[in-house]
Chains A and B, each alone.
Chain A
Amino acid sequence: MLAAIRPDDWNFPLLLHVLGASLLLGALITAVTAQLLAWKRRGPADVIPYARLSFRTLLIAAIPAWFLMRIGGEWVASKGWNDIDPAPAWLDIGYLTAELGGLLILVSTILAGIGARRLGRSNGEQGATLVRVATVLVVLVTIAYVITTWAMSAKPD
Chain B
Amino acid sequence: MGLYDWLLALHVLSAFAWVSALVLYSVVLAASWGASIPSDVARMFRVTKVGDVLIAVGMIGTIVFGVWLALDEYEIWDGWIIAALVLWLAAAATGGRGGKHYNGVRDRANALVAEGRNEPSPELTAGLQSTRGLMFHSATVVITLALLVVMIYKPGA
* Contacts from A to B (Cβ < 8 Å): 1, 4, 11, 14-15, 18-19, 21-23, 25-27, 29-30, 33-34, 37, 45-46, 49-50, 53, 56-57, 61, 146, 149-150, 153-156
| B39, B50, B149, most chain A CB atoms within 10 A | B50
The residue in A14, A21, A30, A46 that gathers the most chain B C-beta atoms within 10 A of its C-beta is: A30
Query: Would B50 and A153 count as touching, CB distance under 8 A?
Result: no
Q: Report chain B residues within 8 Å CB of A18.
A: 148, 152
Instruction: Name B50's contact: one of A14, A33, A56 (CB within 8 Å).
Output: A33
SS class, residues of chain A in contact with chain B: helix
Q: Assess the B19–A22 pair: CB atoms within 8 A.
A: yes
- Contact across chains for B39 and A23 when beta carbons are under 8 A apart: no
Q: Does B152 contact A11, Cβ atoms closer than 8 Å?
A: yes
**A30 CA / B51 CA spacing, docked (Å):** 8
Once A33-B50, A53-B31 are accepted as A-B contacts, the answer to whether A27 and B23 lie under 8 Å apart by CB is yes
Q: Which of B21-48 touch A at CB < 8 Å?
A: 21-24, 27-28, 31, 39-40, 43-44, 46-47
A sample of 5 inter-chain contacts (CB < 8 A) reads A21-B16, A27-B23, A33-B24, A150-B13, A153-B13
* Surface stretch bound by A, among B1-9, B79-87, B92-100, B120-128: B1-9
B contacts, CB < 8 Å to A: 1, 4-6, 8-9, 11-13, 15-16, 19-24, 27-28, 31, 39-40, 43-44, 46-47, 50, 54, 73, 145, 148-149, 152-153
Please tell me if the beta carbons of A26 and B44 are within 8 angstroms of each other in the complex: no
State whether A26 touches B22 (Cβ < 8 A).
Answer: yes
Chain B residues with Cβ under 8 A from A155's Cβ? 5
Cβ-defined contact, B16 with A37, below 8 A: no
Q: Which residues of A contact B20 (CB under 8 A)?
A: 22, 25-26, 29-30
Interface of B is mostly: helix
Residues from chain A with a CB closer than 8 A to the CB of B22 are 26
Asked if A11 contacts B23 (CB within 8 A), the reply is no
Give the distance in Å from the alpha carbon of A153 to the alpha carbon of B62 in the complex.
14
Q: Could you say which residues of chain A place their CB within 8 Å of the CB of B5? A: 154-156
Interchain CB contact under 8 A, B13 and A37: no
A149 touches B47 (CB 8 A): no
Neighbour of B12 across the interface among A4, A27, A50, A149, CB < 8 A = A149
How many angstroms from the CA of A117 to the CA of B126 in the assembled complex? 30
For the complex, give the distance between the alpha carbons of A150 and B9 in Å.
5
CB atoms of B24 and A30 under 8 A apart:
yes
Asked whether, in the complex, the Cβ of B12 is within 8 Å of the Cβ of A49, the reply is no
Tell me whether A23 and B19 are in contact (CB under 8 A): yes
B147 to chain A, nearest CB (A): 11
Min CB distance A107 to B, Å, is 21
Nearest first, the 3 closest Cβ-Cβ pairs linking A and B are: A26-B23, A26-B20, A154-B9
Q: Are A26 and B19 in contact, with the CB atoms below 8 A?
A: yes
Please determine whether B6 and A154 come into contact, CB atoms closer than 8 angstroms.
Answer: yes
